[in-house]
Homo-oligomer: A and B are copies of this chain.
C-alpha cells in the first residue's frame, strides 16, 4: 500500500509538472508551487529540499509516466512492429497527456540547452536514452531482415525524434489541425524507407 507521504508527494508532483509544462521548468520554484498548490513553502521544502531537487523530481515523474504509457506497451513487439507501436503510443501520449503545456522534456530541452548542471544532464540523459532505445529497435529490425542492412540506426532515431519535435511544434504552437495526420504519415515514410528490398 502507498504511504500517505508518498501519495501526497505524488499529488504535489503532478501539480508541479503541470506548472512546469506551462511556465517552463525554470519558472518552477518552491514559491510558485506554493501559490499554485496552496501548500506552505516550508511544507514543500520538507518534501523536496530545493528548487533543483523539485525540478529533477518533476523530470523523473514525467520519465516514469513516459515509460508506462509509451515504452512498456510496445515491449511485447520487436523490431519494426515495436517501432510502429512506439510511434502510435508516442503520438497518443503527446496528443492527450494531462500536461497542460505539452511535454515538459521538449520545453526543458530548449530552456536548458545553454546551461550546465544536473537539470540539463537529466534532460539530455532522458532524450539520449529515448533515441538509443529507438536506435536499438531499428538495429533489431535490421538483424531480423526487416530493415535494410545499410540503414544507420542512429540516423533513424534522429529522424524519428525530429518528427516528434515537429508534432509538438505543429500541434501546440501552430495549432495545425493536420499535425497528427502529418506525423503519422512521416513515421510511415520513415519506416517504409528503412525496409529491406523484397
Contact = CB atoms under 8 A, between A and B. Distances in A.
Interface of A: 21-24, 100-102, 106-107, 109-114, 120, 123-124, 127-128, 131, 152, 154-155, 158-159, 161-163, 165-167, 169-170, 172-174, 176, 178-179, 182, 185-186, 189, 193
Nearest to A155: B182
Contacts of A178: 154-155, 158
A182 to B, nearest CB: 4
A136 to B, nearest CB: 17
A113 B101 contact: yes
A111 B170 CA distance: 14
A111 B109 CA distance: 11
Number of copies: 2
A interface SS class? helix
A113 B172 contact: yes
Contacts of A107: 110
A114 to B, nearest CB: 5
A186 B113 CA distance: 23
Nearest to A128: B174
A112 B169 CA distance: 11
Contacts of A123: 173
A160 to B, nearest CB: 9
- Most chain-B CB neighbours within 10 Å: which of A109, A123, A173, A174? A173
A122 B21 CA distance: 22
A159 B182 contact: yes
A155 B185 contact: yes
26 contacts: A22-B114, A23-B114, A24-B111, A102-B114, A106-B110, A110-B110, A113-B169, A113-B172, A127-B169, A127-B173, A127-B174, A131-B174, A154-B178, A154-B182, A158-B170, A158-B182, A159-B186, A159-B189, A161-B166, A161-B169, A162-B162, A162-B165, A162-B169, A165-B166, A189-B193, A193-B193
